Amino acid sequence: MIRTTTEFLTEWKSETEATQRLLDVLTDESLGQAMTPDHRTLGQIAWHLAWVLGSMTQLGLNFPKPDGKELAPSSAEKIASEYKRVSQQFAEAVESQWNDETILENAAHLRLLIQHEVHHRGQMTVLMRQAGLPIAGVYGPSKEEWIVQGKEPYL
Ligand code: NI
């Protein structure tokens, strides 16, 4: 439950760090990975997570939106760095411009923002596997991390 600024910012930090770990291993070549040709590519889903943060200004927060357009840039580095910047500036705006009362008023939006990120992150990890990229664990170890820990991953 999101009841205070501290509760939200703590959860947001953990969620965005998990997202950032995925974005940081994307390559320019992997951005075109798609489930089928008529669905969003890995790059478009990744960029969507940065882009959507700009919509939080509609809740009255003031911070710089992502640089660019809704269509994803072709640079994986640009996607990762813009997400990092905007997710941090969004958090700073929440901390400096809102209080516990405004957090409570916007709790449903903030919860949806996190769930939306979780949803698309799940799509990304599948596409990243298909693109042959390593996956960092999100809520638990990834297959690679199990192996490093000396465990036998399930198939
Ligand atoms: Ni979406």
For residue 112, CA distances in Å to 2, 19, 52, 119, 128 come to 11, 16, 12, 10, 24
- Give pLDDT, residue 71: 94
Q: How far is the CA of 154 from the centre of ligand 1 (A)?
A: 30
Positive or negative, the CA dihedral 140, 144, 149, 152 is positive
Q: How far is the CA of 144 from the centre of ligand 1 (A)?
A: 28
Segment 74-98, tens digit of pLDDT: 999 999 999 999 999 999 999 999 9
- Give pLDDT, residue 13: 97
CATH homologous superfamily for 5-148?
Answer: dinb family like domain (1.20.120.450)
Q: What mean pLDDT, rounded, does the chain reach? A: 95
- Give pLDDT, residue 153: 80
Confidence of residue 42 (pLDDT cuts 50, 70, 90): very high
Positive or negative, the CA dihedral 96, 116, 32, 20 is positive
Total residues found in the chain within this entry: 155
Segment 116-131, tens digit of pLDDT: 999 999 999 999 999 9
**CA 26: distance to chain centroid?**
13
Which residue ranges make up the annotated binding site? 48, 116, 120
Residue 108: other Cβ atoms inside 10 A: 10
d(CA 118, CA 29): 24
Which residue ranges make up the annotated binding site for a divalent metal cation? 48, 116, 120
Please state, for a pLDDT cut of 90, what percent of the chain lies above it.
Answer: 85
What does the H/E/C string look like for the chain? CCCCHHHHHHHHHHHHHHHHHHHCCCCCHHHHCCCCCCCCCHHHHHHHHHHHHHHHHHHCCCCCCCCCCCCCCCCHHHHHHHHHHHHHHHHHHHHHHCCHHHHHHCHHHHHHHHHHHHHHHHHHHHHHHHCCCCCCCCCCCCHHHHHHCCCCCCC
**Higher-scoring residue by pLDDT: 46, 146:** 46
